[in-house]
């Protein structure tokens, strides 16, 4: 089911999200809906608070594959890259954001099993952007050269 994407100004986007503690049917439904919503919106990533659910779950769709990261935590961050970002919760805008060029995160999957992911370049940027959402941070807090897209 496609869910409504919350837009900037909604307080849910500014809350620190709670850890996922139950790996149940409700979580599966949330993740399935997030994927459907992301694909329909043709975005690169989506965090649970963007559909109004304040829990630590994000999805990322990149060349390397489709990732569901539950309770993601950075192990390390290396390097620096500057590049363009937008956000499905901030329609019609884009900006330049400095991010690490390479990150390692540990996370759980929808069953609660633990994995790690090393991401670089665009995937690293997307992972950082989405994890920021879990702490109530929007890319516009960090961006320079924010402009309206036509
Ligand atoms: Co975003």
Asked if residues 97 and 86 have their Cβ atoms less than 8 Å apart, the reply is no
Q: How far is the CA of 24 from the centre of ligand 1 (A)?
A: 25
- Strands 65-78 and 45-47: what pairing? unpaired
Length of the chain equals 150
- Per-residue pLDDT band for 146 (boundaries 50, 70, 90) equals confident
> Which candidate in 36, 130, 145, 149 is catalytic?
130
- Per-residue pLDDT band for 64 (boundaries 50, 70, 90) equals very high
Res. 143: pLDDT tops 80: yes
d(CA 40, CA 37): 5
**Domain ranges, ordered by start, for the chain:** 11-148
Q: Which two tokens stand for residue 35?
A: 């994927």
pLDDT of residue 150: 60
Question: Global pTM?
Answer: 0.96
SS3 119: strand
Q: What is the pLDDT of residues 96-130, one digit of tens each?
A: 999 999 999 999 999 999 999 999 999 999 999 99
d(CA 43, CA 51): 14
DSSP state of 149: -
Active site (annotated) includes residue 36:
no
Q: For 87-91, what is the mean pLDDT?
A: 96
Q: How far is the CA of 65 from the centre of ligand 1 (A)?
A: 18
State the CATH architecture for 11-148. Answer: Alpha-Beta Complex (3.90)
pLDDT of residue 145: 86
């Amino acid at each position: 089911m496609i869910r409504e994407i919350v837009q900037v100004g909604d307080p849910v986007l500014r809350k620190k999200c709670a850890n996922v503690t139950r790996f149940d049917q409700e979580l599966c439904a949330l993740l399935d809906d997030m994927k459907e919503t992301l694909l329909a919106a043709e975005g690169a990533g989506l965090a649970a608070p963007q559909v109004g659910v304040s829990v630590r779950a994000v999805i990322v769709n990149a060349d390397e594959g489709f990732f569901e990261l539950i309770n993601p935590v950075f192990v390390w961050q290396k390097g620096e890259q500057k590049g363009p970002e937008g956000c499905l919760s901030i329609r019609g805008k884009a900006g330049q954001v400095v991010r690490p060029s390479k990150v390692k995160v540990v996370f759980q999957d929808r069953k609660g099993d633990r994995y790690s992911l090393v991401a670089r370049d665009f995937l690293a940027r997307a992972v950082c952007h989405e994890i920021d959402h879990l702490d109530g941070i929007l890319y516009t807090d960090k961006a320079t050269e924010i402009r309206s897209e036509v």
